[in-house]
Amino acid sequence: MKDILQAKFMSEMCDTAANMYRLGWDERNGGNISYMLDGGEVAKYLDLERVVRTIPVMGVNKEDVDLSPLEGKIFLVTGTGKYFKNVKSDPETNLGIVRIGSGGEQVELLWGFKDGGRPTSEFPAHMMSHIARLGVDPENRVVMHSHPTYTLAMNFVHSLDEKSFTHSLWEMCTECIVVFPEGVGVLPWMLCGTSEIGRATAEKMKSFRLVVWAMHGIYGAGKTLDETFGLIETVEKAAQIYMLTAHLPRKNTIKDEDMLKLLQLFKVENYRKDFLDVK
């Protein structure tokens, strides 16, 4: 068996968490990541027959949440109450590798959570989002939740209407409309860690890779950790520019006609046409 700490998926996960912490997006135990791994790849590092312990899926009403579509799938996931700050220096305590058990009601721990830990409190929202994204993109592997500062700040001063919120972000950086042409979904403030917010997030994930949890943070989904991180990073950059300029007189802007030119140049066809005011 190879040393799991040397696995590419492990170093990518550690580096991503470290970057998110460095950028101030994940204070204390804020944020969580789940990364679906290839079983064959994991088998190079772990005996898949050896279950360390079984952990019930917490915080959800069984009748509300059906994780059975993910049965047998393996995820590298951050732990509940764990700090992103500490992931890189101690992955075996702060991360776990879990397999969704039969019926989707419990997970089998294959590695990690060394101090008796469990997957993130947002595990149901993550898993429901994985199911939703896999339905529209079979290559989706990552769901990421974070508390990026300017995105959050913008939630307090900007309308939470999806079209208006997305349009303001698109206006702030030339490449925004190319990076997230489907826009950003927005949920009102809701209680986190519940089946309700999990279901609402997953519903949005059918049409968006980015979902703002108003006055809490953001969810991103993608094929890789880099893609998902890059989506959130781009929203955060746009929100930063918005917050640096919102109180100043606006002299210039990127117009809708300009955004259309960008979409043509980059041959992007699946954009939210109704979020633009030109056709």
Residues in touch with Zn ion (CB under 5 A): 217
Cα dihedral 203→207→208→214 (10° resolution):
-40
* Shortest reach from residue 237's CB to ligand 2HA, in Å: 21
* Shortest reach from residue 29's CB to ligand 2HA, in Å: 5
* Shortest reach from residue 167's CB to ligand 2HA, in Å: 27
Q: Which part of the chain contacts ligand 2HA (CB under 6 A), choosing from 16-24, 115-123, 249-257, 271-279?
A: 115-123
Q: Which of 108, 122, 171, 233 is catalytic?
A: 122
* Shortest reach from residue 234's CB to ligand 2HA, in Å: 20
Out of 14, 20, 21, 31, point to the residue binding ligand 2HA (CB under 6 A): 31
Query: Are residues 196 and 213 in contact, defined by beta-carbon separation less than 8 angstroms?
Result: no
What is residue 26's DSSP assignment? -
Out of 94, 106, 120, 201, point to the residue binding ligand 2HA (CB under 6 A): 120
Out of 7, 21, 29, 183, point to the residue binding ligand 2HA (CB under 6 A): 29
- Backbone φ, ψ for residue 156 (5° rounding): -85, -20
Query: Are residues 234 and 179 in contact, defined by beta-carbon separation less than 8 angstroms?
Result: yes
- Backbone φ, ψ for residue 260 (5° rounding): -60, -40
Q: Which part of the chain contacts ligand 2HA (CB under 6 A), choosing from 120-128, 201-209, 236-244, 250-258?
A: 120-128
Query: Are residues 99 and 119 in contact, defined by beta-carbon separation less than 8 angstroms?
Result: no
CA distances from 84 to 11, 39, 79 (A): 14, 25, 9
Neighbour order of strands in the sheet with 106-112: 53-56, 106-112, 95-100, 74-78, 32-37, 142-146, 217-222, 210-213, 185-187
* Shortest reach from residue 192's CB to ligand 2HA, in Å: 4
DSSP structure string for 264-277: HHTT---S-GGGSS
Residue 122 bears catalytic tag: yes
94 near ligand 2HA, judged by CB under 6 A:
no
Instruction: Give, as ranges, the residues between 138 and 197 that touch ligand 2HA (CB under 6 A).
Output: 145, 192
Q: Which part of the chain contacts ligand 2HA (CB under 6 A), choosing from 23-31, 44-52, 229-237, 243-251?
A: 23-31
Selection from 125, 91, 269 nearest residue 197 by Cα: 125
Binding site for ligand 2HA (CB under 6 A): 29-32, 120-122, 145, 192
Which residues are identified as catalytic?
122
